[in-house]
Amino acid sequence: MRLILSQPPRTPSGEMRRTLHWMPLERRRVMFRLILIHRCMNQLAPAYLTESVHRNCSLGYIRTRGSNNPHLFPVRSEWGRRSFIFRASVEWSSLPPEIRNIKAASSFKSALKSYLMN
């Protein structure tokens, strides 16, 4: 980053990231997980991923029938909490409904990036 912006070595990296409109690595990972779960929710991902995401409305529970969120199955181990499906489902549930309800992939990506940059 310092090379791209011709900055001295002691310039704070957060300031340079904002100038370049780059996100920290952890937020980029969250963004790509959310993009992939969005594809799964809209049947645009490969079949093996789409089939592994169970929606609450398809399970028939009374409290979750109206909800279209991915279902969170109970996980006992740390390994299970690190799985793609678990993490992406938790992150998906934390998104505001106006972003979750966007169907178009390009609109979802831009709204998601704006949300994560703030």
**Which residues, 6 or more positions from 89, have their beta carbon under 8 angstroms from its beta carbon?**
37, 53, 69, 70, 71, 72
The model's pLDDT over 50-63, given as tens digits with 9 standing for 90+, comes to: 777 776 555 455 55
The two tokens of residue 55 are 């929606």
pLDDT at 64: 47
In whole angstroms, what is the distance from residue 52 CA to residue 41 CA? 11
What pTM does this model have? 0.74
> In angstroms, rounded to a whole number, what is the distance separating the alpha carbons of residues 51 and 32?
19
The pLDDT tens digits of the residues spanning 8-50 come to 888 888 888 888 888 888 999 999 999 998 888 888 878 877 7
pLDDT for 62-101, tens place per residue? 554 455 667 666 777 888 778 888 888 888 888 998 998 8
